[in-house]
Amino acid sequence: MRVDLNVPLDKSDEVTVTDDTRLRAIVPTAKFLLEKNAKLILCSHFGRPKGEIIEKGKNGRLTPTVPHLENLLGTTVTKADDCMGAEVEKMAADMEPGTVLLLENTRFYAEETKNGADLSAGLGKLADYFVMDAFGTAHRAHSSTAGVTQHMKMSAAGYLLDKELKYLKGAVDSPNRPLCAIVGGAKVSTKIPVISSLIEKCDTVLIGGGMIFTFYKAMGLEVGESLIEDDMVELAGNLMKEAEAKGVKMLLPVDVTCAAKFDKDAEAKVCAIDSIEGMGLDIGPESIKQFGEVIANSQTVVWNGPMGVFEFPKFAIGTFAIADMLAAATEKGATTIIGGGDSVAAVNQAGLGPKMSHISTGGGASLELLEGKVLPGVDALSDA
């Protein structure tokens, strides 16, 4: 079972898990398989080691996840020191039904990320069936997400992957309308494909975060010291034209919260977009109100990316306001989907996670699915 155990560790000791969201996410599928008396082999990457095959140091090892997993699954988890080879094959062969074996970090092998044939075959020797439940890596064609399936009798999606596909694909393929997308984050360049594909499918697209200044520049506005991607100005202008041609409302903030410098203690000042001073670090109060009206009138809302520098409390107001408004919309029956990355961190920080319809466990995978791309880790599974 390919899972995503790539959890953050406390920097001071490198063993304490600081956020177990990803560990909790594997429980439904793992418990189902254990109840069916499967011999369950868990397989994951951890961090980004440079493929130094099994360094004997502790860094990059999956060992810190073991106590957490044992607690969540209510059973002993035996840990291997490698993810393929004779020793691991013997451990797998000696397993009793209903027990768990955790393989070592697949990325200790450089070929993992190249979908190498040897690692795919090595993993394939350990089991008869493959379950993909690591949505966060489903957009990568790696040995442990795609190549391994060629060596299995059958490959299936786990409950987590199934839920992600249902919500994210459902949101763009057959949503309850009106459908609104909120796209934030610092850079237009990383979000152009997703904005373009959302224009095809949405009724309204709300834009926030640092990328708004590239759009303002395309509109001929001065943006002071704000973040700007000069090579993206023309593309931003084209996206606005594209939205207009398709009758899709693309809303940019009408005011921004600015500061003289990029500093959590800098003085915050609200500016209209035609008189920006210093650098814009958040969307302003009037914009929050306008965005709120759109959210309140939508039946499906997908959110990816913060509205400002939410790590600084003074410039987190826009991001947390969006989280609050989505929680209220969910309560009134709307479907709200938090599509990975920093928006998930913001929602969890606000303690509003349980109030959203779906919080995605994938960053890049969520974006690619919203773009309408086929994910290699899904494509490799057996046809249902």
What are the residue numbers of the active site? 22, 187, 341, 364
- Residues 77/82/86/92 CA torsion (nearest 10 deg): 20
Cβ atoms 268, 258 nearer than 8 A: yes
Q: Is 191 flagged in the annotation as binding?
A: yes
Q: Is 50 flagged in the annotation as binding?
A: no
Q: Is 47 flagged in the annotation as binding?
A: yes
Cβ atoms 299, 335 nearer than 8 A: yes
Q: Which residues of 124-147 are buried (b: 16+ CB within 10 A; e: fewer)?
A: bebbeebbbbbbbbbbbbbbbbbb
Q: Is 170 flagged in the annotation as binding?
A: no
Q: Is 280 flagged in the annotation as binding?
A: yes
Burial-class residue 149 by CB neighbours within 10 Å (0-12, 13-18, 19+): buried
Cβ atoms 368, 190 nearer than 8 A: no
Q: Is 221 flagged in the annotation as binding?
A: no
Q: How many CB atoms lie within 10 A of CB 58?
A: 10
Q: Is 24 flagged in the annotation as binding?
A: no
Which among 349, 355, 319, 305 has a CA at the least distance from the CA of 334?
Answer: 355
Q: Is 48 flagged in the annotation as binding?
A: yes
Cβ atoms 152, 130 nearer than 8 A: yes
Could you give the CA distance from residue 31 to residue 140 in angstroms, rounded to a whole number? Answer: 26
Q: Is 340 flagged in the annotation as binding?
A: yes
Paired tokens of 383: 């046809």
Q: Is 61 flagged in the annotation as binding?
A: no
CA 301 centroid distance within chain: 16
Cβ atoms 261, 269 nearer than 8 A: no
Q: Is 45 flagged in the annotation as binding?
A: yes
Could you give the CA distance from residue 382 to residue 384 in angstroms, rounded to a whole number? Answer: 6
Binding residues for ATP: 191, 280, 311, 340-343
Binding residues: 4-6, 22, 45-48, 107, 140, 191, 280, 311, 340-343
Binding residues for substrate: 4-6, 45-48
